[in-house]
Each structure stands twice: as structure tokens, then as C-alpha cells.
Amino acid sequence: MPNSIVNDSAMMSALGREMTRAVQRMAVASGNLSNAETPGYRTQEMHFAEALDGQIGALQPAATNGRHLGSSADGGMVREAEGGPARRDGNNVQMEHELLALSHAGSDFASAQTVLAAKFRLVRYAINEGR
């Protein structure tokens, strides 16, 4: 029978990873926005499949040697976005798309932060014995 119990440590770790990923998505969108007028700049994006693989990999036991468990680095999730119309200068940044991505990432971060704050309030309540 698989261990399906979610403990506090696993929950805190998952929330931390979600907040980190939201910050990474904000950084990618911000980088795209800051290069909106750079000739030849190609939009970058974070790929969900690789981010999911990173999440699943985080649930696996840690490798003590690079050859164990087929371990790999966590990088490589950000790469050039495919498609998208380019202007005459070769830049393909779409402001509306990047602003929306920035907004979604901020919302995801705020949601994880709210859950984390609630968890800390429960801990504080338990420490103060309900006072």
C-alpha cells in the first residue's frame, strides 16, 4: 500500500516549490517585458512538462551520486517560445501575453502564500495553547 499521507513537511515543501516556480515564471515574463523593444529578441517561456518532471523528481529519494537513480539537474525549464508573430525587427514579445503571464504567476504566488500563512497561524495557535 503506497504511503499517501501528506505530512506537514511535504506540504511546506510543496508550497515552497510552488512559490519558487511562481517567482521563476514572474522573472521570465519580466525579462520578456524588459526586452520588448530589443531588436531580434525572442520570447522565453517556462515549459510545464519540465517543471512537472522537476516536481515529480523532488518526490523521489535524493541521489548521493550523479549516477544513482538517473538524477539530473533542475535547470533547462526556460527556453525560447515557439511560434508567435515577429515584428520586422525580429522581436516577437507580445505585451498582453506577458502581462497576463505575470498576473497569473503573481496570483499563484499569493495563493501559496495564503495557505502558508494559515499553516503558521495554526502552529502559533497550538504553541499558545489556544490563547
Beta strands in the chain (DSSP E): 44-46, 78-80
Task: Provide the number of structural domains found in the chain.
Answer: 1
Yes or no: say if 128 and 34 are a contact pair by the CB < 8 Å rule.
no
30-88 tens-digit pLDDT: 999 999 999 999 999 987 655 555 555 555 555 555 444 433 344 458 888 887 788 99
Is residue 2 assigned to a domain?
no
The CA distance from 48 to 59, in Å, is 17
Can you tell me the distance from the alpha carbon of 113 to that of 111, in angstroms, rounded to the nearest whole number? 5
Which pLDDT score, from 0 to 100, does residue 28 have? 94
Q: Is residue 89 part of a domain?
A: yes
The DSSP 8-state label assigned to residue 80 in this structure reads E
Higher model confidence: residue 21 or residue 131? 21
Q: Report yes or no on 42 lying in a domain.
A: yes
Which residue segment(s) compose the domain that 40 sits in?
A: 8-127
What pLDDT score was predicted for residue 20?
A: 92
Q: Is residue 36 part of a domain?
A: yes
Q: What is the pLDDT of residue 9?
A: 83
Q: Which among 102, 87, 88 is positioned nearest to 33, based on CA atoms? A: 102
Q: pLDDT confidence of 103, banded at 50, 70, 90?
A: very high
Asked whether the predicted pLDDT for residue 128 surpasses 80, the reply is: yes
Burial class (CB in 10 A: 0-12, 13-18, 19+), 35: middle
pTM of the shown model: 0.69
Within a domain: 79 = yes
Residue 3 belongs to some domain of the structure: no
Phi, psi of 81, deg, nearest 5 = -70, 140
What is the reported pLDDT for 95?
A: 93
**Least confident segment among 1-10, 27-36, 39-48, 117-126:** 1-10
Q: Which helix or strand (DSSP H or E) is residue 38 part of?
A: none
Give the DSSP per-residue string, 58-74. Answer: HHSPPPSSTTGGG---S
